[in-house]
Structure 1
């Protein structure tokens, strides 16, 4: 059985097995999953900001029924076109390169218009490019028991394990091998995608081929932290594939386990994707004006330092100490007919703590236009020079060059305020 929902659309009444319905209800995948009071056997399902696909396995058969039910595939379609979504992802993975070369930040998704086929295609193509010059090798520390001496003898282990007798000999050495973190991550990404629903057959075959090419890399244990790697000249051709593969593994590793029922799949959180894109793009844009942007800059609301606040982006003067502007990204408005008032209260608190006369909220394009609010009685004693709260709108359907121009324009406004001061 397959169910397709649209991001932030109205709830749909779907015939659904009670076990699968309860699994979805507690998984956090959907904004709402409750039994339909008007239609017994149906569940009301409404998607939130998570997009992608998951698979709910079939429940085990129970007497007197000897047949297992069908597995359920849930697809959540984003409002943003898939190509634009992957441009945002490519920018987040490598913002400096994408900012300089704009269109090169777009992840290649071929002709696919759905999230899962596009993701699988993109990862396979990046891995194929990484491996065209052969599988990367590097030095790895090896500790083992052997019949001949190689490298350094581990005296403490020799005594502890063998009471000083030989052979075997406990040795340690550096081996030049393809079993390095970079190849382990690429192999794990191939294996993760092969387990997911909606991967096209031709892409599935190519992913299997890439997994064979990476067979000498040790399989990663699901649920454990990914191995660490450091960007260098030697692994430069691997870096786009590694960043995309890590995004896949972080999106699939939780497995959405619910009371012993595993929900395999991959999900983008559009809230996080939009926030990371907006703040990353603005940080690159203000850098062109000599300003310093800091993401999630830690602040405190109170003088005792007990109430923490983390604005999405605080722009500082070139010295990196004096705030110039504060920006918060909001993917979706929550109230029909207006922006959420809570966003304005939050931004006013940021401006008060940072001593700024302006604050900027950036929303994804919706039914509301750009607005400016001047706060009464704020700013200087006597109510003069009130704080202005700007609510900007970004249309994600624009071409990449137009989208980045929007942030260059906003950065220029922030820089102009700095010059005026």
Structure 2
């Protein structure tokens, strides 16, 4: 089943159990079609990717693919730049071959980057190992010794630094490989290569599902891993859909375009302002009321040399118009401007999801600008558009 993000709803014949599972899963908007028995009207939102629904007794699973409006190469540029703007993520840096769908392209790109990272062997490093032994090695963990052995001399709870390949970087790569092997829509040839990478990482400890991913720091020693780690983190941080509602199984992987657009815009704005006298803070916490009970976190707040706020911006992939609360984004921005004592606020949308316009709020003097950013242009022009936008945000006396 092929859907396009934010496209009009389409009617599909579906078993009632699968339709209800899709409706409950927040993958797509699903509701029974009142004009066709046994059909469901499905509409994709901002989540793109693929999920597979398996029903008991069904001949085969149903795969739902949601295609992004932007091209695959452009999506990978937005993703890569958001993860690390200092790397060169221009077109061609991430190999997606001829794949036009997101899942095949993502699996291919991650496998190729992992293959390049492991070409000269597994990276090794030091990690803290903890074990129970009969001899002292490293340092004694006195608290564990008392809690587990009640003061007995042997065995000994010890911790020491071990030089090993079982480090955070390799554990992240293995987890990404295993995650992609479970995802629907991965081509057979790419799956075969992913299995080969899993064999190379077979001695690495698997991550425990539900636990936080291990932290790693970019250094000169792990430089050959950087691209692979960034893409692997994107795979592992993506919206996972794996549950069992009423005997059904839903497995899949989705990107949230809202989050991707927000991460790209805020990161790019911060980068363009790095060499100015302004300080850009992302998701900085403020309060709307004087009692500091109503918290608000604008995407970007610019501070002048005196430390006071001088501009505020929010990135919104699509204009939000909830039932009963039209133009909710404008109300939110007005609250930001009021609390920060600013006369202007900026909402940044993806072009095609909102128009470029300006609103002057009655009785307050606040002006709210709605900017439309065209994502369907080469990376250089897209970053140039962000730079022009940052100049509109910055006060003229501090540019």
Q: TM-score, normalised by structure 1?
A: 0.86
1:85 aligns with 2:64: no
Distance 1:367 1:349, change over 3 A: closer
Residue number in structure 1 paired with 2:308: 322
Tell me the SS of whatever aligns to 1:103.
coil
Tell me the SS of whatever aligns to 1:287.
coil
Distance 1:306 1:197, change over 3 A: same
What is the root-mean-square deviation in Å for CA atoms of aligned residues?
2.7
1:108 aligns with 2:95: yes
Report if aligned partners of 1:317, 1:418 keep a CA contact under 8 Å in 2.
Answer: no
What is the alpha-carbon distance in structure 1 between the residues aligned to residue 22 and residue 371 of structure 2?
35
Q: 1:60 aligns with which of 48, 56, 63?
A: 56
Residue number in structure 2 paired with 1:301: 288
Report if aligned partners of 1:324, 1:418 keep a CA contact under 8 Å in 2.
Answer: no
Deviations for 1:336-395, whole angstroms, at most 9, x for unmatched residues? 9xx9532222212211111112111111111754212222222xxxxxxx2221111111
Deviations for 1:269-300, whole angstroms, at most 9, x for unmatched residues? 11111111111111111223231111112111
Distance 1:106 1:273, change over 3 A: farther
Report if aligned partners of 2:132, 2:156 keep a CA contact under 8 Å in 1.
Answer: yes
Larger Rg computed on CA atoms? 1
Residue number in structure 2 paired with 1:391: 370
What is the alpha-carbon distance in structure 2 between the residues aligned to residue 247 and residue 204 of structure 1?
18
1:255 aligns with 2:242: yes
Q: 1:291 aligns with which of 267, 278, 282?
A: 278
Residue number in structure 2 paired with 1:381: none
Residue number in structure 2 paired with 1:333: 319
Distance 1:271 1:161, change over 3 A: same
Q: What displacement does 1:245 show?
A: 0.8
1:74 aligns with 2:64: yes
Farther off after superposition, 231-240 or 327-336: 327-336
Deviations for 1:178-230, whole angstroms, at most 9, x for unmatched residues? 11111111001101101111111221111111111111111112222212223
Tell me the SS of whatever aligns to 1:372.
strand
Residue number in structure 1 paired with 2:36: 39
Residue number in structure 1 paired with 2:109: 122
Report if aligned partners of 2:50, 2:63 keep a CA contact under 8 Å in 1.
Answer: yes
User: How many residues matched?
Assistant: 395
Q: How does 1:140-155 map to 2 (within 5 A)?
A: 140-145=127-132, 150-151=137-138
Q: How does 1:20-419 map to 2 (within 5 A)?
A: 20-30=18-28, 32-57=29-54, 59-61=55-57, 68-95=58-85, 97-98=86-87, 101=88, 103=90, 107-145=94-132, 150-151=137-138, 156=145, 160=149, 164=153, 171-251=158-238, 253=240, 255-259=242-246, 261-319=248-306, 321-334=307-320, 341-366=327-352, 369-378=355-364, 386-419=365-398
Q: What displacement does 1:232 show?
A: 2.6
Report if aligned partners of 2:312, 2:336 keep a CA contact under 8 Å in 1.
Answer: yes
What is the alpha-carbon distance in structure 2 between the residues aligned to residue 328 and residue 106 of structure 1?
29
Tell me the SS of whatever aligns to 1:56.
strand
What is the alpha-carbon distance in structure 2 between the residues aligned to residue 335 and residue 353 of structure 1?
23
Q: 2:14 aligns with which of 3, 12, 16?
A: 16
Report if aligned partners of 2:346, 2:393 keep a CA contact under 8 Å in 1.
Answer: no
What is the alpha-carbon distance in structure 2 between the residues aligned to residue 368 and residue 190 of structure 1?
37
Tell me the SS of whatever aligns to 1:221.
coil
Structure 1 residue ranges without an equivalent (≥5): 62-67, 379-385
Q: What displacement does 1:335 show?
A: 5.7
What is the alpha-carbon distance in structure 2 between the residues aligned to residue 171 and residue 152 of structure 1?
5
